[in-house]
Amino acid sequence: MRRLLRALETRALLIWLVGAGAVWGFVKIGGEVMEGEMGAFDRRILLALRNPANPSDPIGPRSFEESMRDMTALGGVTFLTLLTVTAALVLLLHGRWRRALIFAGTVICADISSEILKHVYDRPRPDLVPHGSYVYSQSFPSGHSTMAAATYLTLATIVASLEPRRATKVLAYVLALAVMVLVGFSRVYLGVHWPTDVLAGWCLGTGWAMVAWVLVSRFSAPEPARRP
């Protein structure tokens, strides 16, 4: 019992530390962006991913540029909507209605908060290089990065809560983190976001994923699995 209590206390402490770190990171980055202190850093990183002789040309072959467009789609509205609806329906069909509501609610809240904060900060998109993907909203925070972090990390949390094997739990989080990082990198590579937009989006999305983690930990135990 003591070991169980210590494990629960450690897990709760980890959740709150990560959540607090995500909130602090977003506020810190947002404050520096508003004060214009991150301009040099953003420009240096963005131009490092471009051909020095021709800033309109991203580094790497055309095939890599196309793969980055494919990767950025994994954080887009269309794909994440399909993923969210499909995952929620699968959970509902297996009687996991609480997890379905937590997952769908987290994705929706992350999207709404991202759109609100875009209007609050009202940061223009990068103008140093041509955009490699269509854009239609403000730059800060990155919506793709926010949604990728919130959606994939929350999905990994739900998978881990249902899977008894530790290796599978770890694999779920590793894959979620990999997709999250690649989506964010693709936004900078395609010139549609400043690096700090992506960092703030990761912080915001991770914060929502931590909320989902708390809810899944709180409500998953009493939820019995029903036969589909």
- Assess whether 193 carries a catalytic annotation: yes
The residue type found at 109 is C
Is there a contact between 144 and 201 (Cβ–Cβ < 8 Å)?
yes
CB of 209 closer than 8 Å to CB of 35: no
Catalytic, out of 94, 119, 131, 144: 144
| 59: its two tokens | 């580094």
> 97-112 as b/e, with b when 16 or more CB fall inside 10 Å?
ebbbebbbbbbeebbe
CA angle 88, 94, 99 (to 5 degrees): 45
Task: Point out the catalytic residue in the list 94, 119, 131, 193.
Answer: 193
Active site annotation includes 119: no
Residue 208, helix vs strand vs coil: helix
Active-site amino acid positions: 144, 193
